A = this chain, B = another copy of it.
Amino acid sequence: MKDQSPTILLAHGSGGQLSHELVERVFVRHFDSSILAELNDAAIIGFESSELQVPGSTNPQPGTDNLKLAFTTDSYVIQPLFFPGGDIGKLAVCGTVNDLAVSGAEPRYLSAGFIIEEGLPLETLERIAVSMAETARVAGVQIVTGDTKVVDHGAADGLFINTAGVGVLRAGMHLSPSNLRPGDLLLINGTVGDHGMAVMMQREGLEFGSSLLSDCAPLNGLIAELLAACPDAVRCMRDPTRGGLVTTLNEWAMSARMGIEVEETAIPVREEVRAACEVLGLDPLYVANEGKVIIAVVPQAAEEALAVLRAHPLGREAALIGQVTDEHPGRVVLRTPLGARRVVEMLVGAQLPRIC
């Protein structure tokens, strides 16, 4: 299906198929950058040795050293600003930290840009700033630069935050869906759909028990432990945010031109999330996560990787959920409890708008 709409729709921001088409058609086409065109969670930017400064000298040092950084950005427009398990500020730090971490980088420095609607209580802004500061401390990153804009009442919805982030790519690290090979196994560090359903419940004023919390968390610690314990195991990682698990797996399948098979019963879903999804007619496999990472590993390392994940507080419910195959390239196939197989595609539009 080709996007023929002459105006921007909510679905263009869903992370689904219309988002992809918009990005390709408008941004990738005109910005004409090979780095952008890779459409990874973070851009990898390299700096040559001739740019290095030797303290005390004004001359660059000759040599072949090379610094590779990861650089990424996200804007956060979530409503409501506060939700069970987090707030827009925590989300803005976690989201960018996680995009750097899944690229194989150690997150270091963040920027924070605030677009504030006139009339926002100062106390609200301050609570959010405190939350960002705490999350940054937990993640071990520094917010080093920022910007504040205020727009007139009615010209924005309370508060939007943009964060950009810079991290140091680990030596020798090159994670990409193009690394995927048939037989690679797919892990996830816990239950899916928690973030999206916690926000939806808050938004709709519904309650499904106090345990329905967003999973919003910085994943760089978990990922650092995994990469230290199993340095050669990981082919590719991604955090399945907007569009959920199935959207990310479809991106991988298309990008790698491989098939992906997932075992429905193996995917951890919290009971409250399943119940809430049923009430609202949603599928948890498409619901946003903010503290989950999908990890493709070489088959022989899967057991060890799973053990490392489970030993970490953010990976206790880690599971092996599927594998890469050379059958049905570009497609994600779900095996149901009854043994049936069904293709699960990326959604065209938005399941849940303004979820991040």
Contacts and interface: CB of A to CB of B under 8 A. Distances in A.
Interface of A: 5-14, 19, 22-23, 26-27, 30-33, 35-36, 42-43, 45, 47, 49, 51-55, 57-61, 63-69, 71-77, 108-109, 111-123, 125-126, 129-130, 132-133, 136, 142-152, 154-157, 160, 162, 164, 166, 168-169, 171-172, 353-354
B143 A33 contact: yes
Contact of A126 (B23, B30, B142): B30
Contact of A6 (B47, B49, B77, B122): B122
Most chain B CB neighbours (cut-off 10 Å) among A6, A19, A169, A172: A172
B51 A55 contact: no
The 7 closest A-B pairs by CB, nearest first: A13-B150, A164-B164, A73-B111, A43-B144, A162-B162, A155-B157, A43-B145
B7 A162 contact: no
Contacts of A120: 7-8
Contacts of A9: 118, 150
Contacts of A125: 8, 26
B160 A115 contact: yes
A47 B26 contact: no
A343 B280 CA distance: 63
B65 A149 contact: no
Contact of A71 (B22, B31, B61, B109): B109
A171 B53 contact: yes
Contacts of A122: 5-8, 26
24 contacts: A6-B123, A7-B120, A8-B120, A13-B149, A13-B151, A14-B150, A23-B146, A27-B129, A30-B129, A31-B142, A35-B109, A35-B142, A36-B144, A47-B168, A52-B67, A58-B172, A60-B171, A69-B166, A73-B111, A73-B146, A74-B147, A76-B149, A77-B115, A115-B160
B72 A111 contact: yes
B32 A133 contact: yes
Nearest to A78: B149
Nearest to A350: B150
Most chain B CB neighbours (cut-off 10 Å) among A10, A113, A117, A145: A145
Given A8-B150, A118-B10, A143-B36, A53 B169 contact: yes
